[in-house]
Amino acid sequence: MKFRKWDIAAPNPEAVAALRKAGYPSLLASVLAARGIHTPEEARTALAEEKRLSVSPMLMKDMDKAVERVRRALRDGETVAVFGDYDVDGITSTVLLTDYLRRCGANCLRHIPRRIEDGYGLSSEAIGRLREQGASLMISVDCGITGNEEVAYANSIGLDVVVTDHHECKEALPEAVAVVDPHRPDCPYPFKHLAGVGVALKLVMALGGEEQADALFSRYCTLAAIGTIADVMRMEGENRTIVSCGLEALPRTDFPGVHALCKEVGLWDKPVTSTQIGFVLAPRINAAGRMGQVNLAVDLLECRDPARAEDLAKALCGLNRERQAVEQAIFADAERQIARLPDDQRNALVLSSNDWHQGVVGIVASRLTEKYGCPSFMIQFRDGVGKGSCRTCGGFNLFAALESCSDLLEGFGGHALAAGFTIRKENEGAFRARMNERVKETLGSEPCEASLRVDAVITAPGEATLEQVRRLDALEPYGTGNPRPVFALMGAAAEGVQGVGQGRHTKFRLARGAAHFDGIFFSVTEEECGIRPDMRVDAAFYLQPNTFRGATSLQLQLLDIRPSLCASRGEQESLDLLNRLTDGDELSAQEILRLSASREQFADCWRALQRLFRRERPRRTDAEIETDTLPCLRDLAAEIGGCEGFLRAALALSVFEERGLIRVAERGDRMTITMLPRSGKVSLNDCPYLMRLKPERE
């Protein structure tokens, strides 16, 4: 089981019925209702796709100042420098703005810092070099909002600065000619969730004026879509417009580098979705910055020669494969460090090494947060100074947390979910202790569980068809705030389980009633998923078409699979019968015979319970385990054997608890079993439950 908790929505049946009556297919209606959309009118509004950005960029605070200064530079023939960032958002922002300025005839310089050597954000050294090359105006994109000292230095050497950014602001803003950031407290712009490339796009549209705004949006929307998706921005409002229009325009974009990259990864002449941008294109562009070759990605997107663009795309994909190998090695090392951490240092995972590749630690932090359900901080030290990347789970604001530790840091920046920081080695221990304490105060003493949001349980498997899946495309584009819909099958039969892809992935054949489904669980081995053929399982998945040898069929892309937490009809009947026994209800002779277990079966169950404790007891005590109720009973039943194994396993736990051998506390689908101290032998035959069965047994 990958996720400890499944958060399963319960769509309002009346809303689903109303949406279906209005013509929305059943799966789409269920997802809409699960997301709070209850009427056909609300559905039409939610699914509507705007074709243009209608909110004026001039509503952004300081946009008028930015436009006036850039237009003056263009009019007077000044050299303009664009200072970007090394991630996909920063790269696309840089390419977008430099392309526009050069098309306006500007002498335009570009600078993107090297992740490892230069670190994140503005630097006085780079600013000085840009001034030496003749720049009199510098525009930052996707960075600069916390660069107060660097902007002051630029002012001192005669370099004007326009800051455009989308990250969180500190209390004091840089003393720039203009600071354009929707997150400014005094910015009245109504949509606060633009990516850095979205803000850069708005600047270009403002520079072009109302008469050119739509044409500029059409030219740059694909670049803006790639950066917006890659930066995991909320997929609503203007972002939804940018991404939907950008994906639609991708086949005819004026940037040959985008075409070359699509061809290299096998997406050319195919519909490209936000998911493919996020998981196929964006990681390859990001690899350039992570591996210290950011100009490779910038050169590709700026390239005008299709033949050279193909060579650059091949090189970029090769660099991404190298990044993947480095990432796997760092993740394995991080896992070894986590295994050695004491309990009080597991609320926040603060890990470090002198050997890690600094450009890759952010990806590993994301994977650790997903796996362990807590904020993760990965620090790569060199010469006593560490550069850290951190990621968080919901409910914990990283930017605010780093701000509270600013006395221990040399610098930091980012936003609520992802951030970077610089720290000296001597402050690492204090930072780890303080961050763990802050997470505990914010999220509570229990670790935040990695949970999976399920939009709807498929109760009528026959309705899951290819046509239904295609109609789900109305929800596109997917992203934060509008995730790809997740469905579940509960109590399905695992008819087949097979490792594929040299054992790296697992293929399933699942049955529910008369319906049969093929499923694939990527990057999870057959051993890791722990599912055996003929087991009763719950599966959570995306629904998708799969084309193989010209034939298209429905496939489940599994996100998680677990021994079913839903009782079968026979299991529920057994539990009901046990409850009648323990409540003192009258039982028939046949029911007493069903409940009767031998001494050997009780002994087998006790030994199985002890083995379970040895295998699963947690760190905090040797006498307690927490487990899923029904799977635990099924495992114990397998040890007892016989056609009534499940019933007698449940009976054995009740008897052990009544006799004071264990304590059982149930909460939802899970139970905590505690071994209780005892002295001497305990007679099970004195249990009142068994005494009620004794006459029939005799």
Which has the closest alpha carbon to 503: 523, 489, 482, 481? 523
Q: Residue 562 corresponds to which amino acid?
A: R
**What is the domain class of 5-45+455-563 according to CATH?**
mainly beta
Q: Please tell me the distance from the alpha carbon of residue 244 to that of residue 384, in angstroms, as a whole number.
A: 46
Copy the structure tokens of residue 539: 């599966």
Which pLDDT does position 445 carry in this prediction? 54
Classify residue 482 by its DSSP letter: B
Burial class of residue 19 (count of CB atoms within 10 Å of its CB; 0-12, 13-18, 19+) = buried
Assign residue 237 a region (left: φ > 0; alpha: ψ between -120 and 50; beta: otherwise).
Answer: left
Cis peptide before 182 (omega within 30 of 0): no
Q: What is the CATH number of domain 57-212?
A: 3.90.1640.30
DSSP 337-356: HHHT--GGG-SSEEEEESSS
Closest CA to 453 of 480, 473, 476: 480
Per DSSP, helices labelled H in 279-360 are 282-290, 294-302, 306-339
Pick out the chain residues at pLDDT < 50. Answer: 619-620, 696-698
Contacts of residues 160-163 at CB distance under 8 Å and 24 or more positions apart, as own/partner, are 160/69, 160/136, 161/137, 162/65, 162/66, 162/69, 162/70, 162/137, 162/138
- Residue of 195, 201, 221 lying closest to 50 (CA atoms): 221
Q: For residue 619, give the H/E element and its range.
A: none
List C-alpha distances in Å: 354 to 381, 383, 684. Answer: 5, 9, 59
> Is 0.85 surpassed by the pTM of this model?
no
Cα 231 to Cα 197: distance, rounded to the nearest angstrom: 10
Cα(47)–Cα(45) distance, rounded to whole angstroms?
6
Sign of CA dihedral 350, 351, 356, 361: negative
Short-list 207, 171, 192, CA closest to 60:
192
d(CA 604, CA 640): 6
Provide the pLDDT for residue 698: 45
List % helix, strand, coil for the chain (3-state, nearest 5): 50, 20, 30
Tell me the per-residue pLDDT of 108-151, one tens digit each, with 9 for 90 and over: 999 999 877 777 789 999 999 999 999 999 999 999 999 999 99
Could you give the CA distance from residue 164 to residue 145 in angstroms, rounded to a whole number? Answer: 8
User: Could you tell me which residues come within 8 angstroms of residue 345 by beta carbon, excluding any fewer than 6 positions away?
Assistant: 432, 433, 436
Residue with tokens 């040959």: 256
Quote the CA–CA distance of 150 and 144 in Å, as a whole number. Answer: 9
How far is residue 541's CA from residue 454's CA, in Å, rounded to a whole number? 9
CATH topology (fold) of 341-451: Diaminopimelate Epimerase; Chain A, domain 1 (3.10.310)
What is the spatial order of strands in the sheet that 135-141 belongs to? 107-111, 79-83, 135-141, 160-164, 178-180
- Pull the structure tokens for residue 585: 């209800």
φ/ψ of residue 217, rounded to 5: -60, -45
Q: Are 470 and 502 in contact (CB under 8 A)?
A: no
Q: Residue 139: beta bridge partners?
A: 82, 162
Instruction: State pLDDT tens for residues 527-539.
Output: 888 898 888 999 9
- Please give the DSSP secondary-structure letter assigned to residue 454: E
Domain regions of the chain by residue span: 5-45+455-563, 57-212, 341-451, 569-697
Residue 294 to residues 329, 374, 381, 447, 616, Cα–Cα distance (Å): 22, 30, 22, 37, 46
Q: What is the 3-state secondary structure (H, E, C) of 208-262?
A: HCHHHHHHHHHHHHHHHHHHHHHCCCECCHHHHHHHHHHHHHHHHCCCHHHHHHH
Q: What is the CATH number of domain 569-697?
A: 1.10.10
Q: State the burial class of residue 426 (Cβ atoms within 10 Å of its Cβ: 0-12, 13-18, 19+).
A: exposed
Give the C-alpha distances (Å, rounded to integers) separating 159 from 95, 109, 126, 129. 21, 13, 12, 11
Separation between Cα atoms, residue 228 and residue 139, nearest integer Å: 20
Backbone angles phi, psi at 592, to 5 degrees: -65, -40
Q: Per residue in 295-306, pLDDT tens?
A: 999 999 999 999
Tell which phi-psi region holds residue 501, choosing left (phi > 0), alpha (psi between -120 and 50) or beta. left
- Check residue 625 and give its pLDDT: 86
